[in-house]
Structure 1
Amino acid sequence: MDNTGYIEGRNPVMEALKAGRDIEKIFIEEGNKSGSIIKIKQIAKDRGIVTQYVHKNKLQSMADTQSHQGVIALVSSHSYKNLEDILKIAKEREEDPFIIILDEIKDPHNLGSIMRTAECVGAHGIIIPKRRSVGLTATVGKTSAGAIEYMPVVKVPNIASIIDVLKEKGIWIYGADMSGEENYYNTNLTGPIGVVIGSEGSGMSRLVKEKCDVLVRIPMKGNVSSLNASVAGSIIMYDVLRQRGMKK
């Protein structure tokens, strides 16, 4: 693997898959459907890893060597945790769980910024989906300003399903949405809480929105109709911190 977070070549990618390495996505040269590529695609499918066919020029521009053999894997800069790891941190701190749930955040700078704020406000962890979401890439790590070393990130197959799990554990889910029933600062954000932040363009998916216990909005007075996902998330996260401080 080079410094950009890529593994190049059929055998290296195959071994990384067999070893259970955290892989964000596998890029395959268009038209390349030989035996070993078929095996790579099958293992990736079984593990829920996205594969994408790209033009050979695209693959070549990504490659650090001349021996990528038509396949390159984008690997995680850091390992992922599981939900129990997050809940354990909250228990050890003797605090109510405070979890950030991201619904299809694709911009690595947004994820890094959200991670940085989450660490600053004392959140216990972040949950992201396996598909249609940026993972723990080098860019995310750099943008997080070191927070990636301290903030646990859990990658799950389905955000709506993990919300159900959190609810069963007594955690209330608050979604940031322009159609919210009440302003975030008028909402009780204390107690066990999960804050959902939607994607940069379309916000939360319909199903995720329906799963939220409460939808909260950030009031807007200007001509621009929405905030950057990381900015919106920061505003609400800091109000959680404010309200928790007031409770003490």
Structure 2
Amino acid sequence: MSGTLFGIHPVLEAIRARPCSITRVLVAAGRHDARVEGLVSAARRSGAVVERQPREAIDRLADGGVHQGVVALVSGAEYADPEQVLERATAPALLLVLDGVEDPRNLGAVIRSAAAAGADGVFLPSHGAAGLGAVAVKASAGAVERLPVARVGNVVAFLKRLKERGVWVVGLDPEGPTSWTAFDLAQPVALVVGGEGRGLRRLARETCDALLSIPMRGEAGSLNLSVAAGIVLFEAVRQRLAARRGAEGGPPGPDRGPAGRTGGRE
């Protein structure tokens, strides 16, 4: 992605995933520990120029971020093509659509959760939301190098296109009438998560096939959006593993099976 990456893990992931995008790797003078030297060797093998710089220069490039003495200057395409992401999605698709997440740290964290859950792609609005800047990339801990992230011009229109493709569009809403465990997430699903504070916007909420909620047991009124998204994404993983075990004739485990769940697009 155009600009800078900082931190050992994000830079190393970028070197491994897209070595041609790395133009220079800057390392703080005096950093010679094994992790940094391993990164330096990988960068040189990829063809990137490696330079030692004063710590102050690294601090300026990272703009206050935790850089661990390493900054990479990168170039190249930032976002995947939405249609290509959909075409390459495995069946049943598991997609994440973000409706106006503004904090880049939340963006990076939710991308990390989606990658860990094996999602096929993440979709962001082209305007009015956080993008793949250095802070989001750092917060993703390298996940943006493994999971395609695409931008869409109109979130609501994109959700309607997904429905036409047979994908269930499911919103995450604290007031949603359906429990996150009561919906059949083993089918093709796009999870829609709203921005900080306001949640899903009205038109996006009205476009969803179902609205899921996670009941709160303690005094906290709500969960961080990346945590809430991770809970639902991994519920989808659990349901899909249970369905696969059942199809293969194995023990069903604790899953209730499709009976008692809502959802199922014809």
TM-score (norm 1): 0.67
TM-aligned CA deviation for residue 105 of structure 1:
0.4
Relative to structure 1, the CA distance from residue 2 to residue 187 in structure 2 (aligned partners, 3 Å threshold; closer, same or farther) is closer
Distance 1:122 1:235 in 2: 13
Contact 2:82 2:151 in 1 (8 A): no
Distance change in 2, residues 1:76/1:166 (3 Å):
farther
Aligned to 2:181, the other structure's residue is in SS state helix
1:155 maps to which of 144, 151, 158: 151
- Cα offsets for 1:125-169 (capped at 9, x unmatched): 001101221001111111111111011111111111100111111
Among 102, 121, 128, the alignment partner of 1:125 is 121
Residues 40-96 of structure 1: per-residue CA shift (max 9 Å, x gap) = xxxxxxxxxxxxxxxxxxxxx99x9xxxxxxxxxx99852112222123224xxx21
- Which ranges in structure 1 are unaligned for 5 or more consecutive residues? 6-60, 65-74
For 1:229 and 1:77, the matched residues in 2 are separated by 29
Instruction: Find runs of 4+ consecutive structure 1 residues off by over 6 angstroms.
Output: none
1:246–1:166 CA distance, 2 compared to 1 (3 A)? same
1:2, CA displacement in angstroms? 5.8
Q: Does 1:86 align with 2:85?
A: yes
Q: Does 1:115 align with 2:111?
A: yes
The 5 A counterparts of 1:161-240 are 161-240=157-236
The TM-score with structure 2 as length reference comes to: 0.63
Equivalents in 1 of 2:188, 2:167: separation in Å? 5
Stretches of structure 2 that go unaligned for 5 or more consecutive residues are: 7-59, 64-73, 245-266
What percentage of residue pairs aligned between the two structures are identical? 38
CA distance in structure 1 between the aligned counterparts of 2:3 and 2:94, rounded to whole angstroms: 35
CA contact (8 A) 1:173 1:213 kept: yes
Residue matched to 2:4: 3
Q: Which amino acid aligns with 2:84?
A: D
Instruction: Find the aligned partners of 1:2 and 1:106 in 2 and give their Cα distance.
Output: 19
Q: Distance in 1 between matches of 2:207 and 2:167?
A: 12
One-letter amino acid of the structure 1 residue matched with residue 168 of structure 2: W
Note if contact 1:78-1:136 (Cα within 8 Å) is conserved in structure 2.
no
Distance between the aligned counterparts of 1:87 and 1:97, measured in 2?
A: 8
